[in-house]
């Protein structure tokens, strides 16, 4: 099975069933499949062949869905670009991937002059929502979305691929350095999709609210899992106004909601979520970074009786590696659970040998969902794919029942004198302060101890008199002396990627 078969098979089984909601209207599976086919035929006419890279710069929308599956139908490899990047960063990704074509929303056409001037691999541009054809620059072929949708046939193209073929290059968020291109095959994505469907018990009646961007691997898994079973997605890009999203969620009778930790912090403290009732909501999922146990408890209570699934994964794993069954949540707060179906996950030493319960080591994984490697980066690939295992870079431990706990990032340890301290441990403890909304902890240079702990804190809106002294006193009351931050800085908000992940590199630069 190939990734675009999710759409094709659902279109064959349920052609007139609503598949995607966007801006107050639904499109059915047949319409989305036909639109994707037209994109594919256009790409084939441009000479695109199996394995060629085609980039996309588009917000979540009907067009995005058609473009994504259309590229795959042509046998090409999707390179989905973060819509919040600067022109110079987009140039880097286009040049690194060697993309031959670019499908771009009119909203981002401001980047085109720079991209066309510097990304010399580009041969054609498909521009959306344009009223007139741009002037040709003599090198690049231009096409307009509406013309492509009118001129090309709606039938599935007959392009032969196998599941070992590369499907997508997904660039990491770059939170710890230059983005790396994660190579995911059709087999990687299909395998992971099936596993997620299995443990979430998804079926054709499920409908998920999508606020996460599709270029983010967690967001993309929402699209693929629901199209795999013939379910539907509700797209609302207005999370800046969380109550608007909650209204859409209720109006469209969503059965599922997905978010990262910051998503739920915003809902709990900057929306009226506690006043809403969602009678159709069956499950809520959380991934994209560790969520403190006290926040988990608040989310579980707020969305009850919907089940809260705590999940763990990585872009390199096509999204998902483990989940905590909601039935185990009340007795395993803070755990990432156990491996998903068809994945082996355990705590190991640096050689990949399993460690006994209670010992801290690196979390490693094995499964058909693990990436092929990093694009154009054999050195980084060798660091994480060793001895038949994927080394996640996360430090963890396992309890006697086999439940896993993340204790920190291997690269997110702070060396204070002779002590190695997990930034995550300090963050989770500070988040227990009743006035703290968000916190990020980093190590900074210290002339005596080598490194010192610096905490960046965002206060809850109702916390009127939160100051450095109260944070430090709370830390002294709840942490050993060597884990108490030396510095506390208050910010109105923490810098985040489009997917909601905290960007510690930006904090370090300050």
With beta carbons less than 8 A apart as the criterion, state whether 157 and 49 touch. Answer: no
pLDDT per residue as tens, the chain (510 positions): 999 999 999 999 999 999 999 999 999 999 999 999 999 999 999 999 999 999 999 999 999 999 999 999 999 999 999 998 889 999 999 999 999 999 999 999 999 999 999 999 999 999 997 765 666 566 889 999 999 999 999 999 989 999 999 999 999 864 445 789 999 999 999 999 999 999 999 999 999 999 999 999 999 999 999 999 999 999 999 999 999 999 999 999 999 999 988 899 889 989 999 999 999 999 999 998 888 888 999 999 999 999 999 999 999 999 999 999 999 999 999 999 999 999 999 999 989 999 999 999 999 999 999 999 999 999 999 999 999 999 999 999 999 999 999 987 767 778 776 566 878 889 888 988 989 998 999 888 877 666 789 999 999 888 777 888 899 999 998 888 878 999 999 999 899 877 677 888 788 777
SS3 486: coil
pTM: 0.86
With beta carbons less than 8 A apart as the criterion, state whether 88 and 111 touch. Answer: no
Q: Which of 508, 506, 501 is nearest to 172 (CA)?
A: 501
Residue 278, token pair as written in the block: 């969602």
CATH superfamily entry for domain 413-509: ANL, C-terminal domain (3.30.300.30)
- CATH: 3.40.50.12780, 3.40.710.10, 3.40.50.300, 3.40.47.40. Which one for 185-409? 3.40.50.12780
Instruction: Please tell me the predicted confidence (pLDDT) of residue 288.
Output: 85
Instruction: Please tell me the predicted confidence (pLDDT) of residue 134.
Output: 61
- CA distances 124 to 46, 50, 105, Å, are 8, 17, 14
185-409 shares its CATH topology with 413-509: no
Supply φ then ψ for residue 179, to 5 degrees.
-55, 140
Residue 495: burial class (beta carbons within 10 Å; 0-12, 13-18, 19+): middle
Cα–Cα distance measured from residue 254 to residue 249, given in angstroms and rounded to the nearest whole number:
5
Q: Which of 258, 267, 414, 427 is nearest to 334 (CA)?
A: 427
Q: Which CATH class is domain 5-13+25-161?
A: alpha beta
Cα–Cα distance measured from residue 313 to residue 332, given in angstroms and rounded to the nearest whole number:
18
Q: Which of 439, 21, 376 is nearest to 166 (CA)?
A: 376
- CA distances 381 to 318, 370, 478, Å, are 15, 12, 40
Task: Provide the greatest CA pair distance for the chain.
Answer: 70
Instruction: Please tell me the predicted confidence (pLDDT) of residue 175.
Output: 42
Residue 239: burial class (beta carbons within 10 Å; 0-12, 13-18, 19+): middle
Instruction: Please tell me the predicted confidence (pLDDT) of residue 498.
Output: 72
Q: What is the side-by-side order of every strand in the sheet holding 141-144? A: 141-144, 124-127, 101-104, 53-57, 77-80, 166-171, 181-185, 373-374
H or E segment to which residue 80 belongs: strand 77-80
SS3 178: coil
Instruction: Please tell me the predicted confidence (pLDDT) of residue 197.
Output: 98
Domain range list for the chain: 5-13+25-161, 185-409, 413-509
- CA distances 432 to 118, 128, 323, 467, 475, Å, are 48, 47, 23, 15, 10
Cα–Cα distance measured from residue 42 to residue 148, given in angstroms and rounded to the nearest whole number:
7
């Amino acid at each position: 099975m190939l990734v675009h078969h999710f759409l094709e098979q659902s279109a064959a089984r349920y052609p007139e069933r609503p598949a995607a909601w966007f801006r107050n209207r639904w499109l059915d599976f047949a319409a989305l499949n036909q639109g994707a086919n037209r994109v594919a035929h256009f790409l084939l006419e441009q000479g695109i062949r199996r394995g060629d890279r085609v980039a996309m710069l588009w917000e979540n929308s009907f067009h995005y869905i058609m473009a994504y599956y259309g590229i795959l139908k042509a046998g090409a490899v999707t390179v989905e670009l973060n819509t919040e990047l600067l022109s110079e960063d987009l140039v880097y990704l286009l040049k690194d991937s060697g993309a031959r074509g670019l499908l771009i929303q009119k909203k981002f056409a401001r980047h085109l002059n720079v991209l066309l001037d510097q990304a010399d691999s580009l041969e054609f541009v498909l521009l959306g929502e344009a009223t007139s054809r741009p002037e040709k620059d003599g090198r690049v072929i231009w096409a307009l979305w509406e013309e492509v949708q009118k001129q090309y046939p709606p039938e599935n193209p007959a392009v032969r691929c196998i599941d070992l073929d590369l499907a997508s290059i997904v660039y990491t968020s770059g939170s710890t350095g230059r983005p790396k291109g994660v190579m995911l095959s059709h087999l990687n994505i299909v395998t992971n999709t099936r596993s997620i469907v299995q443990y979430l018990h998804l079926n054709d009646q499920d409908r998920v609210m999508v606020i996460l961007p599709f270029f983010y691997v967690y967001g993309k898994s929402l699209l693929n899992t629901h199209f795999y079973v013939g379910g539907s997605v509700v797209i609302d890009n207005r999370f800046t106004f969380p109550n608007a999203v909650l209204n859409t969620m209720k109006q469209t009778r969503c059965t599922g909601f997905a978010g990262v930790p910051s998503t739920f912090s915003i809902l709990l403290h900057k929306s009226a979520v506690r006043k809403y009732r969602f009678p159709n909501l069956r499950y809520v999922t959380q991934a994209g970074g560790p969520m403190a146990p006290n926040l988990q408890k608040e989310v579980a209570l707020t969305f009850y009786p919907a089940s809260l699934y705590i999940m763990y994964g990585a872009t390199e794993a096509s999204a998902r590696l483990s989940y905590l069954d909601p039935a185990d949540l009340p007795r395993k707060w803070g755990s990432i659970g156990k491996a998903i179906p068809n994945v082996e996950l355990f705590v190991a030493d640096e050689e990949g040998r399993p460690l006994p319960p209670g010992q801290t080591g690196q979390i490693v994984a094995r499964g058909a969902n693990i990436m092929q490697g990093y694009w154009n980066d054999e050195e980084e690939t060798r660091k994480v794919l060793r001895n038949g295992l994927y080394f996640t870079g996360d430090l963890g431990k396992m309890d006697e029942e086999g439940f896993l706990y993340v204790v920190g990032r291997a690269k997110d340890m702070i060396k204070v004198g002779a002590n190695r301290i997990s930034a995550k441990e300090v963050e989770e403890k500070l988040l227990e302060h009743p006035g703290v909304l968000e916190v990020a902890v980093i190590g900074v240079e210290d002339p005596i101890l080598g490194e010192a702990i610096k905490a960046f804190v965002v206060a809850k809106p109702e916390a009127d008199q939160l100051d450095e002294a109260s944070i430090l006193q709370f830390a002294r009351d709840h942490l050993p002396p060597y884990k108490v931050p030396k510095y506390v800085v208050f910010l109105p908000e923490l810098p985040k990627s489009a997917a909601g992940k905290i960007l510690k590199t930006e904090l370090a630069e300050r």
